[in-house]
Amino acid sequence: MNELEDYAIKKVAKGGFIIFIGIIFSSIAFLFYKILAARYLGPADYGLLTLGITILNVASLFGLVGIHQSIGKFINHYLAKKQYEKVKGLLISSFIITISLSIVILLFLYYSSNIIAEKIFNIQGLNTIIAIFSLGVPFSVLTQLLKYYFFAFKKPEFVIISESVFEKILNLVLLIAVISVSASLYAISWVYVVSLIVSFMIGTLLLTSKVKDILKKSLKPKFDFKQLISFSSPLILVGILGTALAWTDTIFIGIFKSSTDVGIYNVAYIIASALMIFWMSFGDIFYPIISELYAKKAKNLIRKNFEIVSRWIFIIAFPLFIIVLVFPSPIISLVFGEDYQGAALPLSILIIGYFIITAFGLAEQGLRTFKKTKFLGVLTLFVFLMNVILNIILIPLIGIVGAAIATTFSLLILSLVRLTYFRRMLKFGYNKILYSKFIFSSMIALVTFFYGIRLVNAYNIYIFISALAAYMLIYFILLIIFKSFSEDDIAILEAVERKIGIEFTVLKKLLR
Residue 299 has pLDDT above 90, yes or no: no
Query: What was the pLDDT predicted at 395?
Result: 95
**Regarding predicted confidence, which is higher, 221 or 304?**
304
At residue 251, what is the residue type?
Answer: I
Residue 107 has pLDDT above 90, yes or no: yes
Of 7-11, 187-191, 486-490, the range with the lowest mean pLDDT is 7-11
Distance CA 87, CA 220 (A): 10
Rounded to two decimals, the pTM is 0.74
Burial class (CB in 10 A: 0-12, 13-18, 19+), 133: buried
Query: What was the pLDDT predicted at 18?
Result: 61
Residue 126 has pLDDT above 70, yes or no: yes
Alpha helices in 370-431 (DSSP H): 373-398, 400-426
Query: What was the pLDDT predicted at 134?
Result: 94
Residue 366 has pLDDT above 90, yes or no: no
The average pLDDT across 95-120 equals 91
**Contacts with 321 (C-beta within 8 Å, 6 or more apart), sequence order:** 275, 351, 355
**Percent of the chain with pLDDT strictly greater than 90:** 26
Q: Decide: 441 and 478 in contact? Cβ < 8 Å.
A: yes
Query: What was the pLDDT predicted at 56?
Result: 92
Per-residue confidence band for 507, with pLDDT thresholds at 50, 70 and 90: low
Query: What was the pLDDT predicted at 297?
Result: 77
How many alpha carbons fall within 13 Å on the CB side of residue 7?
A: 8
User: Using only C-alpha atoms, what is the Rg of the chain?
Assistant: 23
Domain positions in the chain: 3-430
Instruction: Give Cα separations from 476 to 21, 255, 348, 473, 483 (angstroms).
Output: 19, 45, 24, 5, 11
List pLDDT tens digits, range 197-245. 988 888 888 877 766 666 665 667 776 666 666 666 655 666 666 666 7
Query: What was the pLDDT predicted at 495?
Result: 56
**Regarding predicted confidence, which is higher, 83 or 112?**
112
Distance CA 166, CA 160 (A): 9
**Percent of the chain with pLDDT strictly greater than 70:** 77
Per-residue confidence band for 427, with pLDDT thresholds at 50, 70 and 90: confident
Q: Considering the chain, what is the average pLDDT of its residues?
A: 81
Query: What was the pLDDT predicted at 111?
Result: 93
DSSP 166: I
Per-residue confidence band for 175, with pLDDT thresholds at 50, 70 and 90: very high
Per-residue confidence band for 145, with pLDDT thresholds at 50, 70 and 90: confident
Cβ-count burial 323-337 (b if 16+ within 10 Å, e if not): bbbebbeebbbbbbe
Helix axes 225-256, 373-398, angle to 10 degrees: 10
Query: What was the pLDDT predicted at 322?
Result: 93
Query: What was the pLDDT predicted at 199?
Result: 86
Residue 247 has pLDDT above 80, yes or no: no
Euclidean distance between the first and the last CA atom of the chain, given in angstroms as a whole number: 17
